[in-house]
Chain A
Amino acid sequence: MNWPLVPQQVMTGILNGGTIALIALGIVLIFKASEVYNFAHGHLVMLGAFLTWWFAGGEELGNELFNLPLWAATLMAVLTAMLVGLAIERVILRPMTGQPVLAIILVTLGLSQFIEGGVSILFGAQPKSNFPTPFSPSDVIRIPFPGAFNDTIILKQSLVASFVVAAVASAVFILFFQYTKTGLAMRATAENHEVAQGVGIRVSRIFGLSWAIAGVIATFGGVLLATVSGVSLNMATVVLVAFPAVLLGGLESFGGAIVGGLIVGLSQALVQASRNIEVRNSAEIVPYILLLIILILKPEGLFGQKRIERI
């Protein structure tokens, strides 16, 4: 360990973890509402980032059509993503209701490939460097911290901002689930579809709504990632680390998803503080090693429910 680097990496890790946690929330939401393991969530994140880039006047196809400021572009992208989410639920997942887990996983994998191809046709396969981020890489916050490298912790403003947005979005999301009528209806649906239907909740509408919200969350996650590291097709694979985060926290737990996201972010940042180059290089697979460990030791995750199966 290169100890003077540790405080810096802890902060960076937590800030990165915020975005991962927000993305993980979307996966948990879909799972809780409709028991679908959404492997296409990473691609929804990528789609959201590309849509925002396009509405903000991306160079290849859209610059004559739209040239919106970032906030307006994000809003337009969120609206589009909602429609995409609704369409996905109605067209692809509604007919799959009641199919085995394998088929559900495969259909979301198929969806992910479809989105990948579609995005690359619509927006071009090359990475986009001109995402309209409000920050430049040199915008940093310096916090004095004795013992750290040069006695300061340097935080990129884009990272801090994305963490704040992710935290606010997660909080809004959890409050929505705890206190609004729609949120309660979604939790009831997650608990038991038939009983929810029995008390007058329209389960099909809740499914659609949860996909729409997942689309919104994914778009926010995509915009946050894009402000930090730009827009590319590769985002979808990078974002797959949200899955280890979800499993670390437990599939059914929103709080768990946030904790899991922070753990994943932290672990990825902490290995970067090592003196050994191979350990530093392992940042991309550390979440998956954690995943294997948690699957063998405590498969239900830190905050998940133990499942009892009957024949």
Chain B
Amino acid sequence: MAMLRPAGDFDRNYAQDMALLRQPWQRWAMLLIITAAALIPLSGNAYLVTTVNRIMYTIVAVQGLNVLTGMTGQISLGQAAFMLVGGYIVALTAQYWGLPIFVTLPLAALGTGVVGLIFGLPSLRVKGFYLAMATLAAQFIIPWLSRHIFPEYLGGSSGRIPVPSPVIAGITFNQVAQVFYISLVVLVITTVVLINVRRTKLGRSFIAVRDNDLAAEVLGVNPFGVKLRAFFVAAMLAGVAGGLKAISQRSVGTELAYGLNESILLLGMLVIGGLGHNLGPFLGVVTIIFLEDLANVTGATMAAIFPQHATSLLTSFRPLFFGLVLMLFLIFEPRGLAHRWELLKASWRMRPFSR
């Protein structure tokens, strides 16, 4: 890690060099954050629990997008459709085979990963805008298939099937406050894995392909294989996130926000948080979900003032605010909030010499 450290702070062995949390205070802080998160459901505040749960599974989806778009530089407009695939896998395997959640979630990851591979195939020939179009095709084809094939299993044109609540050690997880803990555990696992992926050969080849795929090829990285792996990882995480979303909402189907706008929202969250930065998904998702609540409040206020247009006003401010904030970030801070955070940290470290 190329960062400035105070004099006298150096590593005495490789374990220290590789540690993610270097200082004792960092370990305490991390323990405190996770404990605080775990205590949220005990507060009994339904809004808070639902929102934080939604934040957590959305972060998992955005983390997948971060691997694909942030680290590997491939644009995907199909992340929401992959979430739909994951949701269906969790629902169907639990419903018909009665599998426990330790099996259904990994199955969702694998199955969605394979679907992601199929739609990643065009990355053999194309990149940039063309690849965005290929994933756009996925975003239209997958929900269409779920509405039209196997209607007896996938819910047909109404596009909605119930998801059985998972049972762990005899306890049925049918409240959001209980599903919350599953999301939390998954989020901690994905975060730790992804931080480490960045330091492996695979993670470095992701970044090499992003920076210049021809140059990466010259250096002995197989860009096609790396891009496909990125698609696989992104779709896997989307599958897990979709599974968590399905379990939280207790039903899954095309009518429950798995459309193109949701995919754009996930991409926007990543950009606002910071492309390619581990903190990016966290900052972006929290910001956008907060922004959505702000938009809902604004919409409700405006609807109270203009009751004759209430139905339009209630839903209109979300895309308006999101589009505006996304454009402002791209114009003024394209590296996202994570970059601001890094600047803040650097200036704290440099005190009192920082400007």
- List the interface of chain A (C-beta within 8 A of B): 37, 60, 92, 95-96, 99, 101-103, 105-107, 109-118, 120-121, 124-126, 237, 240, 243-244, 247, 251, 278, 281-282, 284-285, 288-289, 291-292, 295-296, 299, 309, 311
Which one of B121, B141, B316 lies within 8 Å of A121 (CB-CB)?
B316
Q: Are B137 and A125 in contact, with the CB atoms below 8 A?
A: no
Q: How far is the CA of A102 from the CA of B271 in the complex (A)?
A: 10
Which one of A95, A101, A244, A251 lies within 8 Å of B331 (CB-CB)?
A95
Q: Which residue of B lies closest to A251 (CB)?
A: B129
Which one of B75, B140, B260, B319 lies within 8 Å of A114 (CB-CB)?
B319
Q: Are B214 and A311 in contact, with the CB atoms below 8 A?
A: yes
Which one of A109, A115, A295 lies within 8 Å of B122 (CB-CB)?
A295
Q: Are B130 and A299 in contact, with the CB atoms below 8 A?
A: yes
Q: How far is the CA of A244 from the CA of B315 in the complex (A)?
A: 29
Which residues of the other chain, A, contact B69 by a CB distance below 8 angstroms? 102
Q: Say whether B177 faces chain A, with CB atoms less than 8 Å apart.
A: no
Pairs across A and B, CB under 8 Å, 8 listed: A92-B327, A95-B331, A106-B267, A113-B322, A125-B316, A292-B122, A299-B125, A299-B130
Q: How far is the CA of A288 from the CA of B161 in the complex (A)?
A: 26
Write out, one digit per residue, whether chain B residues 186-205 have a CB within 8 A of any chain A CB (1) or not (0): 00000000000000000000
Interface SS majority for chain B: helix
Which one of B133, B134, B264 lies within 8 Å of A109 (CB-CB)?
B264
Which residues of the other chain, B, contact A291 by a CB distance below 8 angstroms? 133-134, 137
Q: How far is the CA of A292 from the CA of B122 in the complex (A)?
A: 7
CB of B117, distance to nearest CB on chain A (Å): 14
Q: How far is the CA of A111 from the CA of B324 in the complex (A)?
A: 7
Q: Which residue of B lies closest to A298 (CB)?
A: B125
CB of B213, distance to nearest CB on chain A (Å): 9
Q: Say whether B148 faces chain A, with CB atoms less than 8 Å apart.
A: yes
Known interface pairs A105-B129, A117-B317, A289-B141; A112-B122 also in contact (CB < 8 Å): no
A-B contact sample (12 more), CB < 8 A, given A111-B327, A278-B148: A99-B330, A112-B264, A113-B264, A113-B320, A113-B323, A121-B313, A125-B315, A243-B136, A251-B129, A281-B148, A285-B144, A295-B122
Which residues of the other chain, B, contact A125 by a CB distance below 8 angstroms? 311-312, 315-316
Which residues of the other chain, B, contact A243 by a CB distance below 8 angstroms? 133, 136
Which residues of the other chain, A, contact B327 by a CB distance below 8 angstroms? 92, 107, 110-111, 114
Interface residue ranges of B146-191 to A (CB < 8 Å): 148-149
Count class of interface residues, chain B:
35 or more
Q: How far is the CA of A92 from the CA of B332 in the complex (A)?
A: 11
Q: Are A299 and B137 in contact, with the CB atoms below 8 A?
A: no
Q: Which residue of A lies closest to B74 (CB)?
A: A102
Interface SS majority for chain A: helix
Q: Are A110 and B330 in contact, with the CB atoms below 8 A?
A: yes
Which residues of the other chain, B, contact A106 by a CB distance below 8 angstroms? 267-268, 271, 326, 330
Q: How far is the CA of A292 from the CA of B121 in the complex (A)?
A: 10
Q: Are A117 and B125 in contact, with the CB atoms below 8 A?
A: no
Which one of B128, B309, B324 lies within 8 Å of A124 (CB-CB)?
B309
Q: Which residue of B lies closest to A113 (CB)?
A: B323
Which one of B137, B261, B320 lies within 8 Å of A289 (CB-CB)?
B137
Which one of B215, B313, B315 lies within 8 Å of A311 (CB-CB)?
B215
Which residues of the other chain, B, contact A109 by a CB distance below 8 angstroms? 264, 267-268, 326
Q: Are A117 and B133 in contact, with the CB atoms below 8 A?
A: no
Q: How far is the CA of A228 from the CA of B129 in the complex (A)?
A: 31
Q: Are A126 and B311 in contact, with the CB atoms below 8 A?
A: yes
CB of B156, distance to nearest CB on chain A (Å): 11
Which residues of the other chain, B, contact A251 by a CB distance below 8 angstroms? 129
CB of A172, distance to nearest CB on chain B (Å): 28
Closest 10 CB pairs of A and B: A117-B320, A114-B323, A113-B323, A110-B326, A117-B319, A288-B137, A120-B316, A125-B312, A113-B319, A110-B327
Q: Which residue of B lies closest to A309 (CB)?
A: B214
Which residues of the other chain, A, contact B214 by a CB distance below 8 angstroms? 309, 311
Q: Are A240 and B309 in contact, with the CB atoms below 8 A?
A: no
Interface residue ranges of B316-355 to A (CB < 8 Å): 316-324, 326-327, 330-331, 334
Which one of A115, A237, A289, A299 lies within 8 Å of B126 (CB-CB)?
A299
CB of B257, distance to nearest CB on chain A (Å): 14
Q: Which residue of A lies closest to B142 (CB)?
A: A285
Q: Are B136 and A114 in contact, with the CB atoms below 8 A?
A: no
Which residues of the other chain, B, contact A37 by a CB distance below 8 angstroms? 129, 132
Known interface pairs A114-B319, A125-B315, A237-B260; A96-B331 also in contact (CB < 8 Å): yes
Q: Are A99 and B334 in contact, with the CB atoms below 8 A?
A: yes
Q: Which residue of A lies closest to B147 (CB)?
A: A281
